[in-house]
Amino acid sequence: MRLGLFAFSMFLAGIVSAIGQEPTLEPRVARVQMRLNFDEDVVDVIEKGEVMTVMEEREDGFLIRTFSGRKGLVAKVNALALAESMEIYTELIDANSDVGRLYTLRAGAWWSAGKKDEAMTDFDKAIELGYDAAHAFMSRGLFYASQGKHEKAIEDYTKAIEKDPKDNSPRINRAASYVLIGKQELAIEDYSKAIESQPLNAVLFQQRAVANKALGKIEEAIADFGKAIEAAGAVKPESIPAHMSRGYLYFQLSKHAEAIDDFGAVVQINPKAAVAYNNRGYNLFQLGKAVDALRDYDESIKLEPKYGLAHQNRAWLLATTDNKNLRDAKAAIESATVACELSEYQDLSDMAALAAASAANDEFDKAIGLQEKVLEKAAPAQKPFAEKILELYQNHQLFDPKAAEKLATEANEKTEKTQPSNVPEIAPEPPKKRAL
């Protein structure tokens, strides 16, 4: 009995996004035995229960690829969704109760249908019956990972690697689980090993970059995002996640020109990327290019009218820019108000932006009231800075980004003096360092 496992494995890997790639179409299960013919010759036989990779859905059926790599068209009635195939596998198990891989296949069907207990029972039963192929452990490992049981998943991935050291899938999935439980060094080892045999896999470089970033190895992370971009193609859609991630790291390092290049690349690839426009705009503003920044914020909002952060950033620019031709307190209030309404007045940065805009419009009573709420809700480490901004408005002074940096430093010094020595230092940051 031949039952294809490739499509099934790809389906499971799609459920747990370990390497960031998912199959575009769900695989299908053969309801009956079928024959693929070329002219009058039978070129392949699809067994009942075989998992078929779906290449394309058509009106008259599915274009599929069989376990042996043949392509053909099968009727939709004979190609069941995985979640509808339990009865097929139960019939096969009744006739072949000692065939362990049938239980693994039915476990996948249970899993797809949301029947977790039944899936676990069948995954275990398959291995108990002696089905100890790498695929058996890989599949159960994926299931454990989907339940958040990453230690158990790692055990199964390790067994799968021992069974088939040449298959990178268990190693890549093990790396993903290591990342999720905070064992970044082990994750990096696995990603590096996988990269040895897949040096052009952009996703592997990106995942290793994530692990490096979690360890605080920012330069290594930037280098890996660069390799991911190179492998994917700098102007290909597949490079967008790496461009976005590297751009954010550059922003955190205050390398605004480099960040602008990365977010600009995303805009070039996808002109509808609202987040990239917002992020590029923010970094342009940090370099004093307020006109270009405003243009990007406007485009971001045009693409995503409910994108609160773009409204907030636009408000900060209009309320605080040195460019007198751009400064527009009333428009800043409008943008900040939209941001606050979108966040239901729960985001402190939105409220702080509205306070700054109100001050710019000579509405200091309103600015004071808003900043008092910011101060009240701010985290302890942020309170000294919020208090100094409140003092500005109480003295009828406007928010000034350059002065804010000095105030933030003073607030940090005040925090250091009042913190117990065993409390880690958390520097309150001025708005220019808020997250993109």
Tokens of 392: 């500005």
218-232 and 202-214 helices cross at what angle (nearest 10)? 170
- Single pTM value for the model: 0.79
Residue 39: what pLDDT?
61
pLDDT tens, 139-165?
Answer: 999 999 999 999 999 999 999 999 999
Beta-carbon contacts of residue 290 (< 8 Å; ≥ 6 apart): 284, 317, 321, 322, 323, 326
Tokens of 400: 């000034």
Residue 6: what pLDDT?
37
Question: Among 105, 60, 91, 101, which Cα is nearest to 78's?
Answer: 60
Residue 37: what pLDDT?
72
Reported as a pLDDT band with limits 50, 70 and 90, residue 3 is: very low
CA–CA distances in Å: residue 71 to residues 29, 48, 409: 15, 17, 66
For 277-315, give the DSSP string. HHHHHHHHHHTT-HHHHHHHHHHHHHH-TT-HHHHHHHH
Reported as a pLDDT band with limits 50, 70 and 90, residue 409 is: low
d(CA 415, CA 429): 12
Is 306-436 in the same CATH topology as 6-131? yes
**144 with 152: CB under 8 angstroms?**
yes
Q: Would you say residue 41 has pLDDT above 80? A: no
**145 with 153: CB under 8 angstroms?**
yes
pLDDT tens, 222-255?
Answer: 999 999 999 999 899 999 999 999 999 999 999 9
d(CA 413, CA 410): 5
d(CA 338, CA 341): 5
d(CA 66, CA 51): 8
Per DSSP, helices labelled H in 63-217 are: 86-95, 100-112, 116-128, 134-146, 150-163, 168-180, 184-197, 202-214
Domain assignments of the chain as residue spans, ordered by start: 6-131, 306-436
Give the DSSP H or E segment for 96: none
The CATH superfamily label for domain 6-131 reads: Tetratricopeptide repeat domain (1.25.40.10)
Query: CATH for 306-436, among 1.10.10, 1.25.40, 2.160.20, 1.20.1250?
Result: 1.25.40
**SS3 call for 9:** helix
b/e per residue, 341-365, with b = 16+ CB within 10 A? ebbeeebbbbbbbbbbbbbbbebbe
**241 with 20: CB under 8 angstroms?**
yes
